[in-house]
């Protein structure tokens, strides 16, 4: 991390960088194809769901069930991770243990560096920093310098260009680390929505919320849903982790709200499938959530859970 | 690493601005709990700096400014106190009802207060206070209650619940959970009637009973109500998510009925200047409630 950044400087940086650097569409096509074969080998799950009180261990087990970290990370590779950890209250952020388990696995597999694309809420790492084992992994985590580039989205239906963190395009692998929770406008927050954390508020996120002429952030959820699906055309995650250990079920995305505690960590390579699966934690289904439906329509993944091989394990 | 640094702003016009900081208890006023930072104030559109995507619902109800301050007990526990100044008591009550969903344990603070597992909400006058502990220990809960009392004592505003909120209380039924609605975003969190705002700009109330829900939208006049009713029926007829649509339910006499994708039955009716919607109700039970509501909402008809 170069220096602490707040939303104001974040916006200024985005605005300043927005038109400065433009990435060609060919590079996006390469990223959209993904670096990982999403077809699971024999015995490998499409989605792994691990239940347990030790979230660090659950994360490692979940990744093992979808092929193990070496399926994704090779020696010397550079890994970008995107944890959803910008809120403050219980059940609104990915557990630090889950993020740090990913960091550990990447390091063990020989990654040259692991970089978080997004800043985290104040105090987020406090407990991890006090834990000897977790702090070891935290010390190796780099933070993005938050430089943004403008990328075209030729297949985007509403969002035709986006300003996103340059590191999202430059790292060899992209791992999304989302949390299941409700969103007042979209109904659900997961891996697809998480990518907004790597895009600039100005102009991209502002367009997603207000681009259709709406006055409020969620006045036009259809427009926002389509924009999020379009945004996900930029780069498919190579690995998706979703925290369903403890999360709010009301007053999302910020909370405070009622907490559900299924103690589950979910992993997969198909962000649409993982989101569709996780929406059930809130009593929803993938097709009920327009953002998931539009991502499916873009061919970004599978929405029908009953067609997937799901491996559920308790540790 | 933080991105949510409080920013002190003065976006509220000086002559109308209330200095929210004066309501926060100082060191020594709530036992061991002492302020651990200065109060950050976020006004108008800057609310998103504090709560990002959670800001819109406050604006829908009518948001003016919020102050947030952290307290610590010196033993590693902390509480964040948020004091929201809304535009009027109806906005404060509405946001309170939306946030609490009328759940949690009722406690004495403000006009209404509820304590949940690790947080507490109360409203008083045009203010809504949300106090959040980061654990549910006895010490933290005691801290939440003490801070709520201290804030409550300093707020001298008064206000009353909007009259509409009382209209979904029914004779012979336990008091429902009540959510007061001032826009489509709040409604969408409970029921989606379509991609657009089907019932138009309206004050509304949702009563959640044990085995059914009752939704009521109130318009400025019976004429406006009829106009909105016709527009809403047009949109509902075109919405493929609903099935079994019928005008004039023969058993209840309601104006329109339909079934949602989850199989829940809806009965809709216009009574005076209100649109009334029963969800998940038995038709026979609905008929007796309809009579009560017709007597209450349009006694002269």
Of B154, B174, B191, the position where a domain reaches its end is B154
CA separation for the pair B240, A68 (Å, rounded): 43
A305 strand-pairing partners = none
Distance CA B32, CA B35 (A): 10
Same domain, B257 and B132: no
| pLDDT value at residue A141 | 96
Asked if B143 and B151 count as a contact pair (C-beta separation under 8 A), the reply is no
Q: What is the pLDDT of residue B254?
A: 63
CA distance linking residue A20 with residue A22, whole number of Å:
7
Residues of A in contact with B56 (CB under 8 A): 184-185, 216-219
Same domain, B175 and B79: no
3-state secondary structure chain B: CCCCCCCCCCCCCCCCCCCHHHHCCCCCCECCEEECCCCEEEEHHHHHHHHHHHHHHHHHHCEEEEEEEEEECCCCCEEEEEEEEECCHHHHHHHHHHHHCCCCEECCCCCEEEECCCEEEEEECCEEEEEEECCCCHHHHHHHHHHHHHHHHHCCCCCCCCHHHHHHCCCCCCCCEEEEECCHHHHHCCCCCCCCCCCCCCEEEEEECCCCEEEEEECCCHHHHHHHHHHHHHHHHHCCCCEEEEECCCCCCCCEEEECCCCCEEEEEEECCEEEEEECCCHHHHHHHHHHHHHHHCCCC
Q: Which of A143-152, A304-313, B196-205 has the lowest mean pLDDT?
A: B196-205
State chain A's mean pLDDT as an integer.
88
Token match 């630090």: residue?
A96
Contact criterion met (CB below 8 Å) for A73 and A79: yes
Bridge partners for B33 per DSSP: B30
- For residue A4, name the pLDDT band (cuts at 50, 70, 90): very low
Contact A251 B132 (CB under 8 A): no
Are B137 and B168 in a shared domain?
Answer: no
Report the alpha-carbon distance of residue B43 to residue B57 in Å, rounded: 15
Chain B residues close to A251, C-beta within 8 Å: 54, 99
- Say how many residues make up chain A: 315
> Looking at the domain assignment, is residue B66 inside a domain?
yes
Residue B6 lies in a domain: no
Does residue B199 lie in a domain region?
Answer: yes
- pLDDT band at A24; cut points 50, 70, 90: low
User: Between the ranges A50-59, A83-92, B198-207, where is the mean pLDDT highest?
Assistant: A50-59
| DSSP helix/strand/coil, A114 | strand
Domain boundary among B131, B154, B177: B154
Range of the domain at B287: 163-297
**B118-143 pLDDT, tens digit each:** 999 999 999 999 999 999 999 999 99
Domain boundaries, given as residue ranges, for chain A: 7-314
Task: Tell me the per-residue pLDDT of A177-217, one tens digit each, with 9 for 90 and over.
Answer: 999 999 988 999 999 999 999 999 889 988 998 888 887 77
Number of neighbours of residue B243 by Cβ within 10 angstroms: 11
Q: Evaluate if residue A278 carries a pLDDT over 90.
A: yes
A65/A41 Cα distance (integer angstroms) = 11
Using the CB atoms, write b or e for B197-212: b if 16+ within 10 Å. bbbbebbbbbbbbeeb
The C-alpha atoms of residue B277 and residue B255 are separated, in whole angstroms, by: 10
Per-residue pLDDT tens listing for chain B (301 residues): 333 333 333 344 444 578 999 999 999 999 999 999 888 999 988 888 888 767 888 999 999 999 999 999 999 999 999 999 999 999 999 999 999 987 899 999 999 999 999 999 999 999 999 999 999 999 999 999 999 999 999 999 999 999 999 999 999 999 999 999 998 889 988 998 987 789 987 799 999 999 999 999 999 999 999 999 999 999 999 999 999 999 876 555 568 999 998 899 999 999 999 999 999 988 888 888 988 898 888 766 5
What pLDDT does residue A39 have? 63
Predicted local confidence at residue A130, as pLDDT: 87
Closest chain A C-alpha to B230 CA, distance in angstroms: 22
Minimum-distance CB partner of B118 among A1, A221, A256: A256
Q: How many domains does chain B have?
A: 2
pLDDT of residue A41: 67
Same domain membership, residue B225 and residue B171:
yes
Segment B72-127, tens digit of pLDDT: 999 999 999 999 999 999 999 999 999 998 789 999 999 999 999 999 999 999 99
- pLDDT value of position B282: 82
Nearest to A36 by CA among A61, A10, A72: A72
Determine contact: B8 vs chain A, CB below 8 A: no
Among chain B residues, CA nearest to A185: B185
CATH number for B65? 3.40.1000.70
Among B5, B101, B185, beta carbon nearest to A185: B185
Rg, chain B, Cα only: 22
How many degrees, rounded to 5, is the angle at CA B85 between CA B81 and CA B90?
120
Within a domain: B236: yes
- How much is the pTM? 0.84
CATH topology for the A7-314 domain: Rossmann fold (3.40.50)
CATH code for position B197: 3.40.1000
> A121–B4: do the CB atoms touch at under 8 Å?
yes
Same domain, B125 and B182: no
Q: Please tell me whether residues B92 and B176 are part of one structural domain.
A: no
Instruction: Report d(CA A88, CA B52) in Å as an integer.
Output: 11
A·B CB contacts under 8 A = 103
- From residue A95, alpha-carbon distances to A59, A127, A190, A227, A267 in Å are 11, 11, 14, 27, 15
Residue B123 and residue B216 share a domain: no
Same-domain pairing of B137 and B170: no
Residue B14 lies in a domain: no
Q: Which residue in B53, B57, B198 has the most chain A C-beta atoms within 10 A of its own C-beta, making it the best mutation to test that interface?
A: B53
DSSP bridge pairs for B110: none
Of B102, B136, B154, the one marking the end of a domain is B154
B291 and B167 fall within a common domain: yes
Predicted local confidence at residue A38, as pLDDT: 59
pLDDT tens for each residue of A212-269: 888 777 778 899 999 999 999 999 999 999 999 999 999 989 899 999 999 999 999 9
Residue in chain A lying closest to B6 (CA)? A6
The reported pLDDT for the residue numbered A302 is 96
Residues whose CB is less than 8 angstroms from the CB of residue B259 and which lie 6 or more positions away in sequence, other chains included: B242, B243, B244, B265, B266
**B5 in a structural domain:** no
């Amino acid at each position: 991390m170069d220096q602490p950044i707040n939303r104001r400087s974040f916006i200024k940086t985005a605005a300043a960088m927005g038109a400065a650097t433009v990435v060609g569409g060919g590079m996006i096509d390469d990223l959209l194809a993904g670096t990982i074969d999403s077809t699971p080998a024999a015995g490998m799950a499409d989605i792994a769901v691990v239940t347990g009180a030790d979230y660090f261990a659950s994360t490692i087990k979940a990744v093992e069930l979808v092929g193990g970290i070496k399926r994704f990370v090779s020696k010397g590779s550079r890994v970008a991770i995107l944890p959803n950890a910008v809120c403050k209250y219980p059940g609104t952020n990915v557990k630090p243990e889950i993020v740090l388990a990913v960091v550990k696995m990447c390091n063990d597999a020989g990654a040259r560096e692991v970089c978080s694309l997004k800043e985290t809420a104040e105090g987020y790492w406090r407990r991890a920093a006090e834990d000897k084992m977790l702090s070891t992994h935290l010390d190796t985590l780099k933070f993005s310098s938050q430089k943004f580039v403008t990328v075209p989205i030729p297949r985007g239906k509403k969002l035709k260009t986006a300003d996103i963190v340059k590191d999202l395009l430059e790292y060899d692998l992209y791992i999304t680390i989302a949390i299941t929770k409700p969103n007042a406008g979209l109904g659900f927050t997961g891996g697809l929505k998480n990518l907004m954390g790597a895009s600039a508020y100005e102009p991209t996120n502002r367009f997603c919320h207000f681009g259709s002429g709406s006055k409020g952030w969620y006045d036009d959820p259809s427009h926002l849903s389509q924009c999020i699906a379009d945004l996900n055309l930029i780069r498919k995650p190579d690995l998706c982790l979703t925290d369903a250990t403890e999360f709010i079920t009301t007053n999302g995305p910020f909370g405070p709200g009622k907490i559900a505690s299924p103690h589950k960590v979910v992993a997969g390579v198909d962000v649409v499938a993982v989101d569709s699966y996780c929406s059930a934690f809130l009593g929803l289904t993938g097709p009920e959530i327009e953002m998931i439906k539009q991502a499916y329509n873009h061919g970004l993944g599978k929405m029908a859970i009953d067609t997937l091989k799901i491996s559920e394990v308790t540790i | 690493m933080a991105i949510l640094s409080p920013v002190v702003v003065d976006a509220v016009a000086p002559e109308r601005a209330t200095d929210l900081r004066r309501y926060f208890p100082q060191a020594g006023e709530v036992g061991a709990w002492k302020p651990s930072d200065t109060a950050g104030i976020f006004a108008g559109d800057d609310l998103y700096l504090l709560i990002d995507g959670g800001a819109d619902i406050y604006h829908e109800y009518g948001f003016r400014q919020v102050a947030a301050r952290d307290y610590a007990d010196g033993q590693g526990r902390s509480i964040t106190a948020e004091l929201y100044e809304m535009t009027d008591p109806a906005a404060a009550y509405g946001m309170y009802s939306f946030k609490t969903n009328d759940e949690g344990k009722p406690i004495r603070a403000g006009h209404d207060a509820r304590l949940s597992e690790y947080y507490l909400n109360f409203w008083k006058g045009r203010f809504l206070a949300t106090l959040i502990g980061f654990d549910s220990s006895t010490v933290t809960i005691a801290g939440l209650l003490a801070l709520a009392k201290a804030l409550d004592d300093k707020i001298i505003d008064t206000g009353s619940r909007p009259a509409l909120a009382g209209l979904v209380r029914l004779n012979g039924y336990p008091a429902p959970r009540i959510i007061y609605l001032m826009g489509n975003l709040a409604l969408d969190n409970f029921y989606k009637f379509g991609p657009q705002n089907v019932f138009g700009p309206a004050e509304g109330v949702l009563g959640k009973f044990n085995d059914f829900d009752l939704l009521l939208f109130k318009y400025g006049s019976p004429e406006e109500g009829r106009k909105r009713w016709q527009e809403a029926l047009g949109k509902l007829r075109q919405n493929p998510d609903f099935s079994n649509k019928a005008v004039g339910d023969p058993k209840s006499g309601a104006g329109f009925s339909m079934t949602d994708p989850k199989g829940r039955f809806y009965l809709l009716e216009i009574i005076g200047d209100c649109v009334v919607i029963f969800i998940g109700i038995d038709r026979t039970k609905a008929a007796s409630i309809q009579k009560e509501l017709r007597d209450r909402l349009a006694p002269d008809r």
